[in-house]
A and B are shown apart, each in its own frame.
Chain A
Amino acid sequence: MSTNARSGSEMSVGPLGPIEYSGARRVGGPLLAIAGVEGVGWDEIARVRLPSGEVRHGLVLEVSGDVAIVEVLQGTSGIDPALVNVSFEGRPFDIPVGDGWLGRVWNGMGEPLDGGPPMLGRERRAVNGAPLNPSRRDVPSDPVFTGVSVIDALATLVRGQKLPVFSSAGLPHLDLAAQIAAQANVAGENFKVVVAGMGLTHADAAAIRDVLETRSAQGDLVLVLDTADDPVVQRVLTPRVALTIAEYLAFERDQHVLVVLADMTSYCEALREVSSARGEVPGRRAYPGYLYSDLASLYERCGRIRGHAGSITLIPVLTMPGGDITHPVPDLTGYITEGQIVLSPDVHAKGVYPPVDVLSTLSRLMRKGVGEGRTRADHMALAAQLIASFARARSARELADLIGAEALTETDRIYLDFEDAFLRDLVNQSSDESRSMEDTLKRAWNVASVLPERELTMMPRAMTAAYYTGNLREGEGGLGADNDPAPVRASPPMGDDHG
């Protein structure tokens, strides 16, 4: 864990290098018990040598008297306790750091998958990282543009934020994750992307490699891929390897880094499996009681640090088992992250991509990252208005389904049109289409303008005056309403962003 500031405690490395112990007392699950050890520290990395010459790595889970319990990262299959040799490295699990990770594809432990040379480097960092002193954090306050309208307009991602994608089996969340990883940028500044896949099928892994090829070729991307047939203990390390690379790029090389972790549900399942092999007391749905803290130890690694130019923005992607948002994985994720992007089978069924459920989607840091000088002065109010109106449209739709559209008030019927326009003109786009912020905001205003101006109660009048493109329909405006028909206005020139 001790990263940048090393703890300095020397562990079990003697003057003649590590001592090798032969034979294990016990093998079971991923665990080996080695007796007769001396000076072995907790959480050290162990080298496990098989008679075939194969070397595996392990972590010290417990030291008690002269016994060390070692968890073997690649599993213990094929290990004969009598014939195994184990030595201890005197340091926690760590990886070299440097720019050499960029433009390459690695497995979950940071070994090359692309036929290239292994990552070398003198500087190493423990993959567990260290907690960042909260008083050294800087408030996230600049946007990341994803080129995906529904996100950029309504749930803007902010540099240093953690914003997960909650999905269900069968929805295109990996496409969306890959699209964001391919398109995301911070308008002109250095930007790197680290994508960690956990428990992916080979087909999904290949698809992600494909979509991200250009970015990788430019040397802006690190791909860390753990596939479904890799050992589960390795899956637990995968996001840590990715985040350690990202921390180096962000806080030692001043880059803005986007980290995508997919699929966190596979990660949590691996953690559950490892925990049960360790014989720990299970919590909700048999996930370990420390699942919250464990997820936090990953997600909290994003952010900004005062005095550093770089940032880490994090998008964990997860599938909600059974589509259930109260399942521990999405639930505990939601308790740690700063909002969520929720994909919905209903929207998917309408043929809309990305199938985002706007009402349960929220970027909590959005207001810090948008507005004058960042996106445009009207952005925040417009987003709030669209979401509020969409909520009203949704209840009008439900009412219409129950009692028929004829029974709706005139205003409610307009809301139904608004809902259609919203999904068709703003949300829906193709998975290789990157839209500019100007384009997105223009679409957003066109959708808002389907409603009569008096319905835009959350918009300051100056903003409707500048951007509203609708006009009052026949027969609109009841008694007592502001009765002057709004003049038809041309949309102001786009790109005239106030910042």
Chain B
Amino acid sequence: MERVNGPLLEVAGLRGVAVLDVIDVGPLHVPAEVVSIQDGRLTAEAFEYTGGLRVGDGAVSHGRPLSARLGPGLLGGVFDGLLRRLEGGPTWLVPGGFGEMKSNASWPFRPALVELGADLAPGALLGTVTVGSNFEHRILVPPDAHGTVTQLAPAGTMGEDDVVAIIGGSPVTLCEEWPVRRARPARERLQPVAPLVTGQRVVDLFFPIAHGATAAVPGGFGTGKSMLLQQIVKWADAEVVVFVGCGERGNELADAMADLSALVDPTTGTSLRERTVVIANTSNMPVMARVASVYTGMTVAEYFRDMGYRVVVLADSTSRWAEALREFSSRSGELPAEEGYPASLSSSLAAFYERAARVRTLGGAEGSVTLIGAVSPGGGDMTEPVTSQTVRFVRCLWSLDRDLAYARHYPAVTWRHSFSLDGETIANWHASEGRLGWAEARARALALLAEADRLDSVVELVGVSALPAHERIVLLTGRLLREGVLQQSAMSERDAFCSPAKQTALLEMVLAVYDRCLALVDGGLPAAVVEEFDFTAVTRARDETGPDDADGVIRLRDEVLARIAEAS
């Protein structure tokens, strides 16, 4: 070692090292990533605290870039950005004292029907192990292996390093390694067709996301990014969820983990923890591992995608990742572009979001990785570099609005600055499922919300009494849509998740009330009278019916309509 300046290290005399290779430095083997090499001098960024490192300390190379250890030990686990196990690790994370990468567990293995002597290509199924109570973890020929099978392990209990098969003369173990910055290959990209059901009305009804698509969730602090992401961790209809806590809070992670352990997956009957991989590089953990954490998370997701599963990756927050990139590049002397971020920011973001896709895997199955990233714009300024660049690369934007959050309108997704490019695809899907009115109801509601906003600003100037009756009904409907459909408390026992059928029923209820009220004022009833009706049944329906109780909503709707008829 020749120089130590915080995480920035300079090492001389180490041969056979390539850029991005990992080296271990000093007596405590602090891992560091090589960022440049000049005249035999390596510049490296350490992944841990470098206090006490001295000129003259030794360094050894791993001989390969940062890689993830992929295997059946992932599901249900909590890892740091380098995929080291945090559970069972020490209380205080100090150099030399982080957790292990390896899992010592073993799993029941069942070989697939493979004939010895057959020629196998990457992605071919070798067998399965059962993880947790009933997750079928498929062991495939890794992307970089192929050839004749000369040996296949019989059924039995296996650990991570046990050999499953010998292919082309090389052993394939239960676990494989993959460099995290490289996307895992697939046969082809497929078009999105079906929505990822999140159970959150504002998302599923208005700005839906397809399996294999991407979404960004920008919002100032406290607007509800983490909450929305965690709702999706809990309720998304996916087989595997990867949550990357990137530079965020420790308490939040502890809370999320406790929630996941307590919740039961309705389709499998097991705890939601069992389908989740948590990568936790909280804000007080070393900054450089934050850069790695999103790549690590993506690699883990692709690994499960390759087994033919639908995977969701949630990254909270991609801004902290971008900031770590900025720190990294400013220390290594790169010329800063906007706000000190490196000029490569936009290509890094694009490359990351591009890794999400619905694919035909090498083995021929269909799998997908859906990516949802929180964005934390400095000062809530949506024009800052990370937000404005990210928006260009995503298919859905769920913008969170501080005014809505202050008014405790949660989720604070604003219908003004959000979009989904997959609305039509998903409308077709709903139609194919028999929900023919879905697209029309959605369009009507969005139009009413926009009109109500316009009228609100008129009212601020002239007062509500200056509006014609039918416009006052639009205003009223805007409120009912906001309170009865869009608002959805993550804390509600009955309403935290809402099934597609109940979603549609709630929306149609408000539209029916609108039509009825409009007819009344057209018939001459003063708008002020209609406004004083008790609409609490409409706004409470979401909470007073179960998560999938569309019929209950329809019953309530009929009662409300009847009462309106009586009162008028």
Q: A residues within 8 Å of B by Cβ?
A: 1-9, 11-12, 38-44, 61-66, 92, 128, 130-140, 160-161, 280-284, 289-290, 292-293, 296-297, 300-301, 303, 305, 326-328, 331-332, 334-336, 338-340, 359-360, 362, 364-365, 367-368, 384, 387-388, 391, 398-399, 402-403, 407, 409, 454, 457, 478-482
Judge whether B250 is part of the interface by a CB distance below 8 angstroms.
yes
**Please, which residues of chain A bring their CB within 8 A of the CB of B26?**
9
In the bound complex, CA of A64 to CA of B96 (Å): 23
In whole Å, how far is B359's beta carbon from the nearest beta carbon of chain A? 32
In the bound complex, CA of A332 to CA of B462 (Å): 39
Contact of A136 with B222 at beta-carbon distance under 8 Å, contacts A2-B51, A480-B563 already known:
no
Judge whether B380 is part of the interface by a CB distance below 8 angstroms.
yes
CB of A43 within 8 A of CB of B52, answer yes
Of A11, A38, A135, which is in contact with the most chain B CB atoms at under 10 Å from its CB?
A135
In the bound complex, CA of A44 to CA of B55 (Å): 13
**Residues of chain B at interface, number, CB under 8 A:** 88
In whole Å, how far is B532's beta carbon from the nearest beta carbon of chain A? 3
In the bound complex, CA of A94 to CA of B122 (Å): 55
In the bound complex, CA of A247 to CA of B280 (Å): 22
Supplied contacts A283-B340, A359-B407, A480-B532, 16 more A-B pairs, CB within 8 Å: A1-B49, A1-B94, A3-B94, A5-B97, A7-B52, A8-B28, A92-B52, A134-B285, A140-B251, A160-B251, A281-B330, A292-B247, A293-B323, A338-B252, A384-B408, A407-B465
CB of B255 within 8 A of CB of A9, answer no
In the bound complex, CA of A335 to CA of B53 (Å): 32
Picked from A133, A387, A399, the residue with its CB within 8 Å of the CB of B93 is: A133
Judge whether B339 is part of the interface by a CB distance below 8 angstroms.
yes
Closest to A361 in B: B406
CB of A42 within 8 A of CB of B93, answer no
In the bound complex, CA of A66 to CA of B221 (Å): 45
Contacts A/B (CB < 8 Å), 24 sampled: A3-B94, A5-B92, A9-B52, A11-B52, A61-B5, A63-B3, A63-B5, A64-B2, A130-B92, A134-B78, A134-B282, A281-B330, A290-B287, A292-B323, A293-B327, A301-B284, A328-B378, A331-B378, A335-B376, A391-B408, A454-B534, A478-B534, A480-B567, A481-B532
**Please, which residues of chain B bring their CB within 8 A of the CB of A281?**
330, 336, 340
In the bound complex, CA of A167 to CA of B339 (Å): 27
CB of B54 within 8 A of CB of A12, answer yes
In the bound complex, CA of A478 to CA of B54 (Å): 79
**Please, which residues of chain A bring their CB within 8 A of the CB of B54?**
11-12, 39-42, 63
* Interface stretch of the complex, out of B31-39, B83-91, B178-186, B393-401: B83-91
**Please, which residues of chain B bring their CB within 8 A of the CB of A161?**
251
Contact of A139 with B258 at beta-carbon distance under 8 Å, contacts A39-B56, A296-B283, A399-B463 already known:
yes
Judge whether B58 is part of the interface by a CB distance below 8 angstroms.
no
CB of A41 within 8 A of CB of B51, answer yes
CB of A289 within 8 A of CB of B529, answer no
CB of A289 within 8 A of CB of B251, answer no
Picked from B245, B253, B327, B406, the residue with its CB within 8 Å of the CB of A290 is: B327
CB of A132 within 8 A of CB of B50, answer no
In the bound complex, CA of A282 to CA of B253 (Å): 31
CB of A292 within 8 A of CB of B91, answer no
Of B255, B379, B533, which is in contact with the most chain A CB atoms at under 10 Å from its CB?
B379
CB of A92 within 8 A of CB of B465, answer no
CB of B463 within 8 A of CB of A407, answer yes
**Please, which residues of chain A bring their CB within 8 A of the CB of B528?**
409
Judge whether B365 is part of the interface by a CB distance below 8 angstroms.
no
In the bound complex, CA of A360 to CA of B563 (Å): 38
In the bound complex, CA of A167 to CA of B99 (Å): 41
In the bound complex, CA of A136 to CA of B92 (Å): 9
Judge whether B95 is part of the interface by a CB distance below 8 angstroms.
yes
In the bound complex, CA of A185 to CA of B277 (Å): 38
Contact of A292 with B320 at beta-carbon distance under 8 Å, contacts A41-B51, A407-B463, A454-B534 already known:
yes
In the bound complex, CA of A132 to CA of B80 (Å): 12
Closest to B221 in A: A334
Of A44, A62, A282, A293, which is in contact with the most chain B CB atoms at under 10 Å from its CB?
A293
**Please, which residues of chain B bring their CB within 8 A of the CB of A398?**
460
In whole Å, how far is B46's beta carbon from the nearest beta carbon of chain A? 10
CB of A388 within 8 A of CB of B251, answer no
CB of B533 within 8 A of CB of A479, answer yes
CB of A43 within 8 A of CB of B50, answer yes
In whole Å, how far is A46's beta carbon from the nearest beta carbon of chain B? 13
In the bound complex, CA of A433 to CA of B49 (Å): 46
